[in-house]
């Protein structure tokens, strides 16, 4: 039995970690807010995360991507993590998951 973890299992672990991180302005985790656009894992378990912020002038524009990188790199089996921030497409409320909308009382 090898000690490696499958990509789908690793993806689940990454999502679990991302759901611990919160935007300071909205009491919902960044994954359910729709701020994570893509999670890619290569064959060597290097992770690339494409994410956005709720606004370009977000107060955590510097710290939140660093927090994402640190959280993902702490997952067993992850070799490295590169976080890229984009504003294309810009984030809006339509990206929030139904569960999060319900929690916010918007659904």
How far is Cα 99 from Cα 34, in angstroms, rounded to an integer?
12
The CA-atom distances, in angstroms, between 104 and each of 10, 16, 43, 93 are: 29, 20, 38, 11
Domains of the chain: 7-91 (3.30.300.130)
90: pLDDT strictly greater than 60: yes
Please state which of the ranges 20-24, 26-30, 55-59, 84-88 shows the lowest mean pLDDT: 55-59
For residue 68, the model assigns a pLDDT of 97
pTM above 0.85, yes or no: yes
pLDDT tens readout for residues 27-84: 899 999 999 999 999 999 999 999 999 888 888 888 999 999 999 999 999 999 999 9
User: Which residue in 11, 1, 32, 31 sits closest to 101, CA to CA?
Assistant: 32
């Amino acid at each position: 039995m090898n000690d490696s973890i499958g990509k789908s299992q690793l993806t689940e672990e990454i999502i679990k970690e991302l759901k611990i991180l919160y935007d300071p302005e909205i009491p919902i985790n960044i994954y359910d807010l729709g701020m994570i656009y893509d999670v890619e894992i290569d064959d060597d378990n290097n992770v690339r995360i494409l994410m956005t912020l709720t606004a370009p002038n977000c107060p955590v524009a510097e710290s939140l991507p660093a927090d994402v990188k640190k959280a993902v790199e702490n997952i067993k089996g992850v070799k490295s993590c590169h976080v890229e921030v984009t504003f294309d497409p810009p984030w809006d409320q339509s990206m929030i998951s139904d569960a999060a909308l319900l929690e916010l009382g918007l659904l």
